[in-house]
Amino acid sequence: MPNPVSLADLPKSSSKQSQARSPTLEGVGTILTAVEVGTNMQIALPIRLIASTSTRRGGAAALRCSDISFESPEVIVDE
């Protein structure tokens, strides 16, 4: 019996799609410096969390207080 997936057509690639790019270490430093100066903590803390833990935006947005251990340096991202 043939694999049905082998009969599927691949999606067309759009030339307008851009590839996601990660910032360089220097770029991360620039971003962190920019958010520390004159930015409220509701913006600065998630950016620092993402930069220091390599957490994805969705994982950082889904965090709850119960996911953070204040006794040890742990953050559990399970979303």
Q: Dump pLDDT digits (tens) for 47-70.
A: 888 888 888 888 888 888 888 778
Closest to 79 in 3D by CA, of 66, 54, 53, 60: 60
CB of 35 within 8 A of CB of 41?
no
> Which tokens in the block code for residue 79?
């979303």
**5 lies in some domain:** no
| Domain membership flag for residue 10 | no
Q: 37 in a domain, yes or no?
A: yes
Say if 51 falls within a structural domain.
yes
pLDDT at 26: 93
Say if 65 falls within a structural domain. Answer: yes
Give per-residue pLDDT as tens, 10-44: 887 766 666 777 888 899 888 888 887 766 778 88
Is 8 a domain residue?
A: no
Q: Is the pLDDT of residue 5 over 80?
A: yes
What pLDDT score was predicted for residue 7?
85
- pTM, whole model, 2 decimals? 0.56
Q: Is 32:48 a contact under the CB 8 Å cutoff? A: yes
Number of domains present in the structure of the chain: 1
17 within some domain: no
Domain housing 27: 22-75
